[in-house]
Chains A and B, each alone.
Chain A
Amino acid sequence: MSITLVPACLQSLPKPSDFHGHLKSNNPNRRWNQKCNGIRCCSSRAWNNSTTEKNYYELLGVSVDSNAQEIKEAYRKLQKKHHPDIAGQEGHEYTLMLNKAYGVLMKEDLRRDYDKSIGQMRLQFGRNNSSLGYSSWKGPFRPQALFVDGNACIGCRECVHHASNTFIMDEAFGSARVKLQYGDDDQNIEVSVDSCPVNCIHWVDAEELPVLEFLIQPQPKKGYGVFGGGWERPANVFTAAKSFNKQLKQQEATDFHQRKGRVVEEETPAQAEARANASMNIKMGKFLELWTWMKEALGENLK
């Protein structure tokens, strides 16, 4: 029978918990990548114990609210870089992590459980749920997008009248907002933009749109007893967006420095963008409060 026992070092037991240390440490010939130290095996135990681990979203470089298509693309992109066929044996550990993350995030039920376990609420707004203040897209992506400055809007309904597929009246705030980008043909949109008596419909860069749409939504103010409370939104949403973006960049820069030790390869623009999205989501902590509040108020029908 073909088993040989090779005594190595009898005194010292393998140090930490599990095989994963073993897998990496005892096998210098196999050249497991020591740079992948942050990434360990799959067991759920390991997940709970270790805080240094990347979460699945960070690993794939996608935002927490990304859809299956985006996850798939990110996964493929990363596989192309790290798969052992391409990166050699060093890619093994990393690819294992990718497979694990992908396996969880692609299955709706597993993803929900995972989101719960990492305590991150998945924000199911946007793309498929226009009732929450975010516009969705019709047709191909365009560099320009429509944005209604809710502060300036007087609620005249002119725009809704001219382009009813694009604009919607938000009765709660008494102002109009964009429901579906390019929901009507260009001419109707043109007319509705022109018809606005206070010129509050703006053409903005599509990249800026998410930030603007996020900021224009009234946030609950912190209340002190009977004082304060209620809702507020920035007086000038455009300047607010500028400073928000600036903060975001700073945050990203510091994040990047911290991460430098771990990540050796350059990230692609798409991943950088995804990372920015993710950290924006974290910054939206406030929004989470709102979300919870609304969920309570409206019950489960938001789901």
Chain B
Amino acid sequence: MAEPAYTVASDGETTGDEKSSFTFPEMAIGIDIGTSQCSVAVWNGSQVELLRNTRNQKMMRSYVTFKDDIPSGGVSSQLSHEQEMLSGAAIFNMKRLIGRVDTDPVVHASKNLPFLVQTLDIGVRPFIAALVNNVWRSTTPEEVLAIFLVELRAMAETQLKRPIRNVVLTIPVSFSRFQVTRIERACAMAGLHVLRLMPEPTAVALLYAQQQQQSGHENMGSGSERIALIFNMGAGYCDVALTATAGGVSQIKALAGNTIGGEDLLQNMMQHLLPDSENLFSRHGINEIKSMGILRVATQDAIHKLSSQTSVQIDVDLGNGLKICKVVDQHEFEEVNREVFEKCERLVHQCLRDAKIEIEDVSDVITVGGCSYIPKVKNLVTSIFKGKELYNGMNPLEAAVSGAALEGAVASGVSDPFGTLDLLTIQATPLAIGIRADGNNVVPVIPRNTTMPARREMTFTTVHDNQTESLIVVYEGEGKKVDENHLLGYFKIMGIPVAPKGVPEIDVCMDIDASNVLRVLAGVRMPGSPKPIIPVMEVRMPTVDDGHGWCAEALNKTYGSTLDLVMVQPKV
């Protein structure tokens, strides 16, 4: 058998070899790490069951507090008061911070949180720290998440009385592959192996597929394909998916997501109640943190109340002579957050457009996530679908984790005699993946919403005469220009035969498997010969670690355009 001379592999913590060497030794559990709340579910042999912690809670607050020597998370510890979480000692919202560089607007928005988020705005990871005994103790979102996952794992192991290793995690649609590796790293730190990462709405879609199959719609025969729109808005992210379901198979037609959620609503509202809060809290002194905590709790309460009543009285003493006394009504709340809601609407429209599905063809509209309790969110979705009634067969907070548990059982090879697990999700790629070519453009090789597993191939060629080397720089995202996208990695091809420009054919092939591992292959051919001139290179992506903003800049500085590629127009 012909062996290629080189294998290029990233030494990242998640190699595919590791993944496939475990042929599902035990059933995976489903974990939904939310920006504000977490839950764990497992297939118990006949149905999905949510695990409860020692305080009998199914939903656990996602935070880790560094107050004592041993950090403890929201699974085991109990807050005496909501404000304790806001004392500066606890880190939360890690799902919003994970895998982001300090130029990201989301990181900047997190500066208003009681713990410390500092940025240098140069494209490196932000400095994050918790206040422990009057000292800022630095940490990372990965570490915080890992501590939290360790607690979740311990809880699941005590309850299920078996070791847990495999998990199915839900992630937001808009997560880049780099962020996904951060999540995987956190899992590795917690001793967990990620069997599948599911975009949240696709987990909901799987639950929907199961419900459809159970409810006997499928007995009608072949014509029972149902199209559902899933709108999932939690504290940190808003995701939309369109799925076509028949016979327990949920086929994801399109995905759309954005980093908007309850946290934005909360921050806008805080800003509205106390217009110069940003300046006030930027010092991060002990007193400021305390007032910020009080304001946050009061605002959160007010928003919760506005879901059931039309107006709410806010009466809060922030200390330092600052007092807020105000009546806020629903209309005011909606006006303050108009932009957020408009973004939500745009996501739904984009998803419908991408899937090429008309509003009339959608059989069910499902809203889940914490924000789905907000009347305005319900209204905006129903008004897009011309007053269609929302699907009410699901618990909005438990849908995603239940779907993850189902996927965990299916992907672990568990089968059920009653056919309840006769399910499948056919995933689609949430973001396009391409390489830099034609100058500073990104040419997508695998477009968005391609059915997974996917493999696509494209041919490129050199831009200079006698160019013997070229760079393959892989990006993820929807932007046309490189700086609008996430850099995933790069490698250099050497040994291109000396030839005039445009002659060598550089084939770039991308392969995504069902567990979402991306491999990029590149080979060089000369026209007329089917054989590669140099051994094919295979690189697992992403290869970049931190500071990816710098990488691209450094590449540009070192090589300029000398190693560029252009796309070859497909021959007709």
> Are A and B genuine complex partners?
yes
Cα-based distance from A31 to B249 in the complex (angstroms): 26
Q: Flag if B20 contacts A26 (CB, 8 Å).
A: no
A109, chain B: closest CB distance, angstroms: 14
Within 8 A of A (CB), among B438-478: 451-457
Known contacts A8-B4, A9-B3, A79-B424, A16 near B530 by CB under 8 Å: yes
Within 8 A of B (CB), among A1-37: 1-10, 12-19, 21-23, 25-26, 29-31
Q: Which residues of B contact A41 (CB under 8 A)?
A: 455, 457, 509
Chain A, Cβ-Cβ closest to B538: A22
Q: Which residues of A contact B509 (CB under 8 A)?
A: 18-19, 41
Q: Interface segment, B5-13, B299-307, B363-371?
A: B5-13
Residue A88 interfacial (CB < 8 Å): yes
Q: Flag if B532 contacts A13 (CB, 8 Å).
A: yes
Residue A76 interfacial (CB < 8 Å): yes
Q: Flag if A6 contacts B7 (CB, 8 Å).
A: yes
Q: Flag if A26 contacts B455 (CB, 8 Å).
A: no
Q: Flag if B513 contacts A6 (CB, 8 Å).
A: no
Residue B539 interfacial (CB < 8 Å): yes
Cα-based distance from A31 to B514 in the complex (angstroms): 14
Cα-based distance from A297 to B380 in the complex (angstroms): 57
Residue B70 interfacial (CB < 8 Å): no
Interface membership of chain B positions 345-357, coded 1 if the CB is closer than 8 angstroms to chain A and 0 otherwise: 0000000000000
Residue A232 interfacial (CB < 8 Å): no
* CB contact between B7 and one of A18, A19, A26 (< 8 Å): that residue: A26
Q: Flag if A14 contacts B2 (CB, 8 Å).
A: yes
Cα-based distance from A9 to B5 in the complex (angstroms): 5
Give the secondary structure class of A's interface.
helix
Q: Flag if A88 contacts B23 (CB, 8 Å).
A: yes
Chain B, Cβ-Cβ closest to A102: B451
Q: Which residues of B contact A6 (CB under 8 A)?
A: 6-9
Q: Flag if A86 contacts B457 (CB, 8 Å).
A: no
Q: Flag if A8 contacts B3 (CB, 8 Å).
A: yes
Chain B, Cβ-Cβ closest to A73: B222
Interface membership of chain A positions 202-223, coded 1 if the CB is closer than 8 angstroms to chain B and 0 otherwise: 0000000000000000000000
Cα-based distance from A69 to B221 in the complex (angstroms): 12
Interface membership of chain B positions 251-264, coded 1 if the CB is closer than 8 angstroms to chain A and 0 otherwise: 10000000000000
Residue A95 interfacial (CB < 8 Å): yes
Q: Which residues of A contact B531 (CB under 8 A)?
A: 13, 16-17
Chain B, Cβ-Cβ closest to A84: B514
Residue B110 interfacial (CB < 8 Å): no
Known contacts A13-B2, A19-B521, A42 near B455 by CB under 8 Å: yes
Within 8 A of A (CB), among B167-226: 196, 222-223, 225
Q: Flag if A85 contacts B246 (CB, 8 Å).
A: no
B424, chain A: closest CB distance, angstroms: 5
Residue B34 interfacial (CB < 8 Å): no
Chain A, Cβ-Cβ closest to B570: A44
Known contacts A6-B9, A9-B3, A86 near B532 by CB under 8 Å: no
* CB contact between A14 and one of B9, B513, B535, B544 (< 8 Å): that residue: B535
Q: Flag if A43 contacts B424 (CB, 8 Å).
A: no
Q: Which residues of A contact B539 (CB under 8 A)?
A: 3
Chain B, Cβ-Cβ closest to A83: B424
Q: Flag if B521 contacts A85 (CB, 8 Å).
A: no
Q: Which residues of B contact A83 (CB under 8 A)?
A: 424, 426, 514
Q: Flag if A30 contacts B20 (CB, 8 Å).
A: yes
Cα-based distance from A112 to B24 in the complex (angstroms): 42
Q: Flag if B507 contacts A12 (CB, 8 Å).
A: no
Chain B, Cβ-Cβ closest to A22: B536
Within 8 A of B (CB), among A248-288: none
Known contacts A2-B12, A13-B535, A19-B507, A42 near B457 by CB under 8 Å: yes
Cα-based distance from A42 to B457 in the complex (angstroms): 8
A81, chain B: closest CB distance, angstroms: 10
Q: Flag if A86 contacts B6 (CB, 8 Å).
A: no
Q: Flag if B1 contacts A25 (CB, 8 Å).
A: yes
Residue A54 interfacial (CB < 8 Å): no
Chain A, Cβ-Cβ closest to B223: A69
Interface membership of chain A positions 90-105, coded 1 if the CB is closer than 8 angstroms to chain B and 0 otherwise: 0110011001001100
A47, chain B: closest CB distance, angstroms: 12
B residues sitting closer than 8 Å to A (CB atoms) are 1-12, 16-17, 20-21, 23-24, 196, 222-223, 225, 246-249, 251, 407, 410-411, 413, 422, 424-426, 451-457, 491, 507, 509, 511, 513-515, 521, 523, 530-532, 535-536, 538-539, 543-545
Given contacts A5-B6, A42-B456, A79-B426, 20 further A-B contacts (CB under 8 A): A3-B491, A4-B9, A4-B11, A5-B7, A8-B7, A14-B2, A14-B535, A19-B536, A22-B538, A23-B521, A29-B17, A42-B457, A69-B222, A76-B246, A79-B249, A85-B196, A88-B20, A92-B514, A95-B453, A95-B514
Q: Which 9 A-B pairs have the closest CB atoms?
A: A84-B514, A17-B530, A9-B3, A15-B2, A29-B17, A76-B249, A22-B536, A19-B521, A6-B7
**Contact sample, A vs B, 13 pairs, CB 8 Å cutoff:** A2-B543, A6-B7, A8-B4, A19-B457, A19-B509, A19-B538, A22-B536, A22-B538, A76-B251, A85-B196, A86-B424, A88-B24, A89-B20
